[in-house]
Amino acid sequence: MIPNLNIVPFVSVDHMMKLVLKIGVERFLTELAAYIEDDFRRWEAFDKTPRVASHSAEGVIELMPTSDGEVYGFKYVNGHPKNMREGRQTVTAFGMLADVHNGYPVLLSEMTILTALRTAAMSALAAKHLAPAGADCMALIGNGAQAEFQALAFKALLGVRRLRFFDIDRAATEKCIRNLAGLGFDMVACGTAQEAVEGAQIITTVTADKQYATILTDNMVGSGVHINAVGGDCPGKTELHRDILLRSDIFVEYPPQTRIEGEIQQLPADHPVTELWQVITGVAKGRREPGQITLFDSVGFAIEDFSALRYVRDQLASTGLYQELDMLADPDEPRDLFGMLLRAAAPAKMA
């Protein structure tokens, strides 16, 4: 597709938005979930490592690499809960894919929007295996940047039609309800988290706070629900009371990373958890009985970003929604890198 070795296809924010709107948000989420599912099925083919995190008082900056032996990918992502109050995103990201055989990048992409889509697709994919049969009502606690994506993924993959919102900032809830109007939801704004979980078979927590928060206490969680805990994803940053964890069957992406970053950082290092890829491949069971509390302790793992970038890359040829970025130096003779620099100076001198 790209004839010139110096060129790397780049998907800007503008092109990503056009791509998502062209495909349709729900179809994008469904197809992306299928890519993640495919990659989770070949879990053992991937290089895996907990992400490399650089913590500061205000937040965290992380690098998330993986490879399947053919393609290498990584994402840069930050998490700064105070950003929102300064007019910035809490989470921003970009990422790339490269050809393992020559190391050349083959895609560079914005991933702020793509992260929201992949996180939502991953949540709904997990819930497909874990939520009670016929669940159609979800409590959505934390109504920030990720929230609408979560709602639409649960609609597209599970048929969730009823949403019960809560956020400490009423304006965030109003924004969600406004954005999702006309998309087929029955929506209720609630005054407390306790009120939001009433009658919900699925509880999604997606709040941002750089501390051990308690968005859900034990008495708020009845039997049979599925909890999709998305916001606790850093050391010292959790959302659920420890007692809920002790009553739940806990499902995770990659245990070595989740034990550092997830809700289970509150538990001993040998507390049993089930890896989602094993549920997806049928090696382990998902939901076993109606009364069970299932918990997806989501932190976000590199393979999901790899799948998302792979999905975006597969859309480029048919949509043309990318720019050609002059990103790799490509001298006529590979060893003459300096000569290329000199030749670039020559016309300037002559002028």
Binding positions for ligand NAD, 226-255, rule CB under 6 A = 230-231, 233
Q: For the chain, what's the residue count?
A: 351
In the numeric block, the tokens 């490592």 are attached to 49
- In angstroms, what is the minimal distance from the CB of 289 to ligand NAD? 27
Indicate the residue among 309 and 316 with the shorter CB distance to ligand NAD.
Answer: 309
112-130 vs 147-158: helix crossing angle, rounded to 10: 40
Helix (H, G, I), strand (E, B), or coil: what is residue 330? coil
326: annotated active-site residue: no
Indicate the residue among 8 and 259 with the shorter CB distance to ligand NAD.
Answer: 259
Q: Which of 152, 206, 264, 273 binds ligand NAD (CB under 6 A)?
A: 206
Beta carbons of 238 and 212 less than 8 angstroms apart = yes
Indicate the residue among 141 and 197 with the shorter CB distance to ligand NAD.
Answer: 141
Binding positions for ligand NAD, 292-351, rule CB under 6 A = 298-300
- In angstroms, what is the minimal distance from the CB of 91 to ligand NAD? 5
In order of 25, 102, 104, 347, the CA distances from 340 in angstroms are: 45, 21, 19, 12
Q: Which of 20, 25, 215, 250 binds ligand NAD (CB under 6 A)?
A: 215
Binding positions for ligand NAD, 72-131, rule CB under 6 A = 79, 84, 90-91, 115, 119
In order of 63, 71, 84, 267, the CA distances from 310 in angstroms are: 18, 9, 30, 35
Choose the stretch contacting ligand NAD; rule: CB under 6 A; options: 207-215, 242-250, 311-319, 335-343: 207-215
Q: Which of 30, 92, 204, 207 binds ligand NAD (CB under 6 A)?
A: 207
Looking at 39, 167, 233, 305, which residue is catalytic?
Answer: 233
Beta carbons of 29 and 156 less than 8 angstroms apart = yes
25-41 vs 147-158: helix crossing angle, rounded to 10: 80
Residues whose CB falls within 8 Å of the CB of residue 49, separated by 6 or more in sequence, listed in order: 65, 66, 256, 302
Catalytic residues: 233
Q: What residues line the site for ligand NAD (CB under 6 A)?
A: 79, 84, 90-91, 115, 119, 141-146, 166-169, 172, 206-209, 213, 215, 230-231, 233, 298-300
